[in-house]
Amino acid sequence: MKTILVTGGAGFIGSHTVVELQQSGYDVVIADNLYNSDIEVLDKIEEITGKKPHFIKVDLSKTKECNLVFETYNIDGIINFAAFKAVGESCSMPIEYYKNNMNILLNLLDNMKRRDINYIVHSSSCTVYGEPDSLPIKEESPTKKAESPYGNTKQMAEEVLSFVVQATDINAIALRYFNPIGAHSSAKIGELPRGVPNNLMPFITQTAIGKRKELVVFGDDYPTKDGTCIRDYIHVVDLAKAHIVALNRLFENKNKKPLEFFNIGTGNGFSVLDVIKSFEKTSNTKLNYKIGPRRKGDVIEIWADTSFAEKLLGWKAQKTLDEMTLSAWNWEKALSKK
Ligand code: UD1
């Protein structure tokens, strides 16, 4: 049985990926500092899979703490989720963002090189593309100047990987996520935003449950079908599954290059109002929302060309927007009962 280190494995995407890994027969070690997650997630993972993952509480941006993980466990491959991820916060705390996100990756790569661990799946983001010139966006599209330090750390991480794979035996796959939303069908794990959510889906569910007064739709004067921004929303379980497929590709040496990039989206663009409508339908509630001004830094529209992931990974997202909004709602309701 292969042992996979999942950094940030107690977080939103991490926890869903741990479930899929365990259900695919992998042994999992979670390394997480619980900065943006809850220790209870480990019990919930066990309730779903029947197995508690190994857990080590460390700050991976600190070299000694990162080394300790590799001294404690024999690791065969890594999935790296650990990072700060709030776009707005990164603009006011750039140094912390660069230090944290880059040091984590460098500490991991350093251990990989020294210990002959050759496989890593890294979480990247469609934010590396900036405002697209043509849609759907393909992996070979040029990346643009980042709008935020957060986005820049995603670009820099891809560049670091591209040089490291040339100089070492390390093989890497960077998955460029579009907009992950939704929650596990058990409603035992899901997104746990710290404070006021920045992202659309948790803001919607928190408004509907009564934690927030109203949702503000950031602009309805964009050149889109209904004036609101378009994104490629993807169910977090579909996204989690893409990591297993990517990891297997590395273990089976099926990768064509030592560093590959894949878009992980559905290939469909939905507007903010589409998401609200889907939510109102699946939750059978009326959402309190109003139209407000545009948010700085938002791209108008972006969705993925997923043909490369389909062809090479043999992976395709399965779940519909309604399944995403319903599962997010079930998770919010489960949280409110606690
Ligand atoms: C953001 C980040 C992206 C990151 C992703 C996941 C930016 C520019 N991009 O994507 O880099 O990978 O989160 O963390 O921030 N919206 C509202 N009202 C709200 C919240 C959002 O109308 O209260 C709209 C936004 O304007 C956008 C859409 O909903 O059109 C999705 O927003 P959000 O969930 O924040 O994701 P992104 O901005 O696409």
272 lines ligand 1 (CB under 6 A): yes
On the question of pLDDT at 164 being above 90, the answer is: yes
Q: How far apart are alpha carbons 182 and 253 in whole angstroms?
A: 32
Other Cβ atoms within 10 Å of 189 Cβ, number: 26
On the question of pLDDT at 297 being above 90, the answer is: no
124 lines ligand 1 (CB under 6 A): no
| Phi, psi dihedrals of residue 154, rounded to the nearest 5° | -70, -40
Task: Please enumerate in sequence order all residues whose Cβ is within 8 A of that of 255, keeping only pairs 6 or more positions apart, or say none.
Answer: 171, 173, 249
On the question of pLDDT at 154 being above 90, the answer is: yes
Q: Is the peptide bond before 132 cis (omega within 30 degrees of 0)?
A: no
Looking at ligand 1, which atom is closest to the CA of residue 180?
A: 6
Substitution candidate for ligand 1 out of 126, 158, 272 with most atoms within 8 A of CB = 272
Sign of CA dihedral 324, 329, 330, 332: positive
Averaged pLDDT for residues 18-32: 98
Alpha helices in 37-116 (DSSP H): 41-49, 63-72, 87-92, 94-115
What is the full DSSP assignment across 289-333?
EEEEPPPTT--SB--B--HHIIIII-------HHHHHHHHHHHHH
Q: How far apart are alpha carbons 263 and 253 in whole angstroms?
A: 20
pTM: 0.98
Looking at ligand 1, which atom is closest to the CA of residue 147?
A: 8
What is the full DSSP assignment across 1-20?
--EEEEETTTSHHHHHHHHH
User: In the structure, what pLDDT confidence band is assigned to residue 38 with cuts at 50, 70 and 90?
Assistant: very high
Contact 207, 214 (CB under 8 A): yes
DSSP 8-state class, residue 238:
H
DSSP 8-state class, residue 235:
E
Contact 303, 229 (CB under 8 A): no
What is the full DSSP assignment across 134-173?
SSSBPTTSPP---SSHHHHHHHHHHHHHHHHHHHSS-EEE
pLDDT at 302: 97
201-246 confidence digits (pLDDT tens): 999 999 999 999 999 999 999 999 999 999 999 999 999 999 999 9
Q: How far is the CA of 163 from the centre of ligand 1 (A)?
A: 30
User: In the structure, what pLDDT confidence band is assigned to residue 261 with cuts at 50, 70 and 90?
Assistant: very high
Sign of CA dihedral 195, 197, 201, 206: positive
Q: Give Cα 200 distance to the centre of its chain.
A: 15
56 lines ligand 1 (CB under 6 A): no
pLDDT at 99: 98
On the question of pLDDT at 263 being above 90, the answer is: yes
Mean pLDDT of the chain: 97
On the question of pLDDT at 28 being above 90, the answer is: yes
39-98 confidence digits (pLDDT tens): 999 999 999 999 999 999 999 999 999 999 999 999 999 999 999 999 989 999 999 999
- What six digits make up the tokens of 129? 């593309």
On the question of pLDDT at 292 being above 90, the answer is: yes
Q: How far apart are alpha carbons 158 and 170 in whole angstroms?
A: 14
Residues acting as catalytic residues? 150
Averaged pLDDT for residues 321-333: 98
Max mean pLDDT range (193-197, 277-281, 294-298)? 277-281
Tell me the domains of the chain and their CATH numbers. 3-181+233-264 (3.40.50.720)
Averaged pLDDT for residues 15-40: 97
User: In the structure, what pLDDT confidence band is assigned to residue 338 with cuts at 50, 70 and 90?
Assistant: confident
Contact 15, 9 (CB under 8 A): yes
Averaged pLDDT for residues 136-144: 96
204 lines ligand 1 (CB under 6 A): no
Distances (CA, A) of 4 to 14, 70, 178, 269, 290: 12, 11, 24, 33, 45
229 lines ligand 1 (CB under 6 A): yes
